[in-house]
Amino acid sequence: MAVSSESRHRELGLTDSEYERIVELLEREPNGVELAMFSLLWSEHCAYKHSRKLLRRLPTEGPRVLMGPGENAGAVDVGAGYAVAFKVESHNHPSAVEPFQGAATGVGGILRDVFALGARPIAVLDSLRFGELESERSRYLLDRVVAGIGHYGNSIGVPTVGGEIYFEAPYEHNCLVNAMCVGLARADRMVRSAAGGVGNLVLLLGASTGRDGIGGASVLASAELAGGAQMRPSVQIGDPFEEKKLMECCLELLDRGLLVALQDLGAAGLTSSSAEMASAGGVGIDLHVDRVPLREADMEPFEIMVSESQERMLAVVQPSRLGDVLATCERWQTGAVAIGEVTDTGRLRVLADDQVVGDAPVAALIDECPLYDLQPEEPSEWLYGNRPSLHPGAEANELLLSLLASPSIASKRWAFERYDSIVQSRTVRRPETADAAVLKLEETGGAIAVAIDGNGRRVACDPYRGAVEAVLECAQNLACVGAEPLGLTNCLNFGNPEKPHVAWQLDHAVQGLADASAALGVAVVGGNVSLYNETDAGPIYPTPVVGLVGELHDPGCAAGIAISEGDAIALVGPFAPSLAGSELAKLRGDLGMGLPGVSIEAVRDAIELVREWVRSGRLTAAHDVSDGGLACALAECAIAGGVGVRADLDSLVELRGGSGESCLFGEGAGGFAVAGPAPELGVLAAQGSKRGVDVLTIGEAGGERLEISAAEAEVSVPLADAEQAWSSLGPP
């Protein structure tokens, strides 16, 4: 049994059995460079060794899919010869260690994933999770993360058009920062990451290489979070202005057909980018680290290979095109140097001063990492503490105002106003005006809608049903602006998968994502897995985040959430409200296992009906029912429109059962609050009856109060008070 006498592999995150496997593959012990390369490529962050088998369950093919999992980003056909590329990724542990740079470089990394395909980034969305706001640490992380996102996106000129922010105690020590990017490309000019052409040159483009980010993938993203200040060197430092030059340079090079392949240098730096390109192309690559431009002259070969310095890309170029490529890079003031060549060896060789300092089969680095079977075990009790913040005797009026003021539900205007949401002049629907962002595509004559959703608390209550709800809510948000989903991306944020209860959560959540996506006919075109989101204080809520891109032909028909005086209001869909796992249950300290089930097919039918009616222009407003239940959804519509609501939910109580309180504040999938002229909603109800979709007329818009009754419960508050509560969340 060959085990390193110094156990250096353990310090790099490799187990003894993994080290033994490396020795078998190399037929010798690895040297320091090779061991560093294996440690990163075999890390959880790069190899997905605890999740890859589960991900095979996800549907990945569809008629509009142009690029699926395995590329830098997924891409779907949007017509007229164009494609939309998109992906979501996490930068959780770096943001917990150094929130400004962690969040900023998270945005920079996801931008590079998209323009690596040849797609110009046109939008960013973010999904954020922090501890409760009474925590000084959570307020600090929130402020710096929002600042980092705004700094990078605003500086590079890409609008941040949507997102979500949740505040829950389990994220106190391990915040989540997930960033999604959407880009537009000519479909026939997109490029893949596969290296090809023996004798072609490998060029390093962009910034010089430093020690920042060394070990970022294995140290920060492949083990439970610990430490703090001593881990700051593992966090990359971003420069959005350098990235802007790099992006424009790469897009021009691709548009002119000067590159064979292009790959982002993200996690594991040169090691992952070169090995993945070689693996995809079935070739070998020789890299000369002494040719790499350095910020610090004394860097060792292993440091150069694993550095995660930002704003760098790896390109494959034919020798005859080198002059044109270098001239283009010089014009954009972007660094470019040939550091290697494509070979027919099937090996990744690292050379310094023409001496081989690292040599490993590409297949061993990429394909031979052991994949582990999870050992799931359902927990017998609720795993997360939850303390009440509402007094037991609170009545309906107080409940509504408390829910509207709850940080997870309240307006996030202070945050998104720090982002430029309209740069590039594509944005039709801005944050909080509609359930999904809408971007016009003049190139195709149409538009797309994008949304990102997830609720870790509900997934913690029931991983399968909670994950199903995440997909359905995102699809409902698209339907509210008249968009049909084209493709899905996801970011799976979970704790330590080696623990049975986390394995159970991950297993059931992935199955929920798979079943919901398949039932909606939506392909999963890519995503990210972020595990080990856990500290000594415990794991985060299991948090699968879902991003969808949808298509709509006329952006002018995209509905907002604002109702108008005199509108009739209806509830559409199989919405069966329950207080289980709800925001109200959280405020009462009454969380536990279990969520009510929902028919995915019934929700799908409601989604299709609402989408058709929004596209027809016959609805004034459409808003999905989610956090805080129907009462909060109606309040948000009223606040947006500046007009009160009078509603009677007795018909919902009769149809679904339960208490009046649960009908006011209960949550669940499949509910839409829609508004429009009363005669139109009458026609909608008739169509719904024919198609088996429930449509209940529940009220009208008017006055200056929110007056909502449901059996024994009744809300009656001035609209101004509701708006004050909803707008109460300010800068941390």
> Which residue numbers are catalytic?
45, 91
Handedness of CA 302, 308, 309, 315 (dihedral sign): positive
CA distance linking residue 327 with residue 252, whole number of Å: 12
What is the distance in angstroms between the CA of the first residue and the CA of the last residue of the chain? Answer: 55
Q: Classify 707 as helix, strand or coil.
A: strand
Q: What is the CA radius of gyration of the chain?
A: 26
> C-alpha dihedral over 125, 131, 132, 133, to 10 degrees?
-70
Kind of pairing between the strands at 672-676 and 568-572:
antiparallel
Structural contact between residues 225 and 93, judged by C-beta atoms closer than 8 angstroms = yes
Q: How far apart are CA 129 and CA 166, in angstroms?
A: 5
Point out which residues pair with 67 in neighbouring strands: 75
Nearest to 250 by CA among 303, 180, 191: 191
Identify the helix (H) or strand (E) that includes residue 87: strand 82-90
For the beta carbon of residue 19, count every other beta carbon within 10 angstroms: 24
Residues 6+ apart with CB under 8 A from 570: 673, 674, 675, 681, 684, 685, 695, 696, 697, 698
β-bridge mates for residue 356, sequence order: 351
Rounded to 5 degrees, what angle do the CA atoms 176, 177, 181 make? 145
Q: How far apart are the C-alpha atoms of 271 and 301, rounded to whole Å?
A: 11
| Cα 708 from Cα 397, distance rounded (Å) | 10
Q: How far is CA 373 from CA 54, 221, 365, 390, 508, in A?
A: 9, 20, 20, 43, 14
182 neighbors 145 (Cβ within 8 angstroms):
no
Number of Cβ within 10 Å of residue 621's Cβ equals 24
Using CA atoms, how far residue 104 sits from 151, 171, 311, 355, 547, in Å, is 7, 19, 12, 37, 20
Burial class (CB in 10 A: 0-12, 13-18, 19+), 269: buried
Q: Which helix (H) or strand (E) holds 285?
A: strand 284-288
Orientation angle between helical segments 240-255 and 99-115, nearest 10 degrees: 10
Encoding tokens for residue 609?
């009906």
**Per DSSP, which regions of 458-616 are E strands?**
484-493, 524-530, 534-535, 538-539, 543-552, 568-572
Q: What is each CA distance from 237 to 31, 106, 231, 561, 721, in whole angstroms?
A: 29, 10, 13, 39, 44
Q: Which of 322, 319, 286 is nearest to 305 (CA)?
A: 286
Rounded Cα–Cα distance for residues 700 and 708 (Å): 10
Question: What is the C-alpha to C-alpha distance for residues 195 and 535, in angstroms, rounded to an integer?
Answer: 39
Give CA–CA dist 699/713, Å, rounded.
Answer: 16
The residue written with tokens 């007094």 in the block is: 391
Cα 571 to Cα 637: distance, rounded to the nearest angstrom = 13
Task: Please report the DSSP string for 409-449 in residue order.
Answer: TS--HHHHTTS-SSTTS-EEE-TTTSSSEEEEETTTTEEEE
